[in-house]
Homo-oligomer: A and B are copies of this chain.
Amino acid sequence: MILAIDIGGTKLAAGLVATDGAVLSSRRVATPQGADARTLWKTLADLVEPLIKGVEGVEGVEGVGVGCGGPMRWPEAAVSPLNIPGWRGFPLRDELARLVPGVQVRVHNDAVCLAIAEHWLGAGQGSANMLGMVVSTGVGGGLVLAGRLVDGGTGNAGHVGHVVVDADGPLCGCGGHGCLEAIARGPALARWALDQGWKPGRASNELSRASAVQSGQVSVALYQEETAATGRQLAADAGAGDERALAAMRRAGRALGIAIASATNLCDLDVVTIGGGISQAGGLIFDPLQEALREHTRMEFAERVRVVPAALGQDAGLVGAAALLLQGDHYWNGP
């Protein structure tokens, strides 16, 4: 039994995962906003506590696997998640090792854990060379080559959100310009549509809350919630034929296709999985994505790449975190 933990800016999740990847029980709590390091840790420890106790006399926790928002110093897992300002260089692995003594604790980037989960039990199952992507408030990913997770020099391989798709493009959160993330992340997508004159809900008549995103005053949690709402609104309006909403989806889809083409040409990938809110927009995103991808993968080996929606649901993060131990031969290259 593995104790799996998924740490994000809006929620903390923990669960017990069996050898076959089944999530036997799980708990969730909102990430306390604006909290200091100690409060954040206490929240996490309280979340985990019943799970540790609950299995006494059953089997016991044999290891702890964690997916956490980056960046982090890896593999020691001193974490500084962008969306959790209270943790800067927080010694997550060491704290967890004290909380659950005597077992291995393995921590990796949350997007990497999602990719691992899709490779192990999801849409990338059976492929040896896969890029697993998450397109949401940010754009992240994990890279599996020759059946093994690629870590790169510092555990940061998989940052497909920072493949350059338009060198003179918009400023990115990383400080660069024209990264995929700067164009395809939910808030950037909505902002671009609004700048083009999109009137949320005009086409689909659904309630819009996009103005809150525009104000820039919302908390991280609200921001992400609004992002999801705005993304849904944008997709709904695009589906209803709103030209500006359609243009925004098309722009993001093409940016994804270009970045995936570059990754495919460089790494000779078999399959790319896409999770996160945007993957639910269906053809509105996937059609322009495929169009741009085909334009930019013209060599025979690259033409064969398949891009598919992620198959696992909201437990994927826990499954991937558990796989750091359960399938360590494939997904753990750390000490």
Contacts and interface: CB of A to CB of B under 8 A. Distances in A.
Contacts of A150: 145-146, 267-268
Contact of A301 (B128, B153, B333): B153
A7 interface: no
Nearest to A305: B153
A165 B167 contact: yes
A160 interface: yes
A156 B264 CA distance: 10
B162 A265 contact: yes
Nearest to A271: B153
A82 to B, nearest CB: 11
B163 A262 contact: yes
Contacts of A263: 266
Given A153-B128, A262-B262, A333-B146, A162 B268 contact: no
Contacts of A296: 162, 164, 167, 176-179
Contact of A166 (B167, B174, B261, B299): B167
Given A164-B258, A167-B166, A265-B163, A270 B153 contact: yes
A295 interface: yes
A116 to B, nearest CB: 16
B156 A152 contact: no
B159 A265 contact: yes
Interface string A296-320: 1111111010000000000000000
Given A146-B150, A151-B268, A164-B165, A156 B262 contact: no
A167 B266 contact: no
Interface centre among A71, A162, A177 (most CB of B within 10 A): A162
Contacts of A297: 176
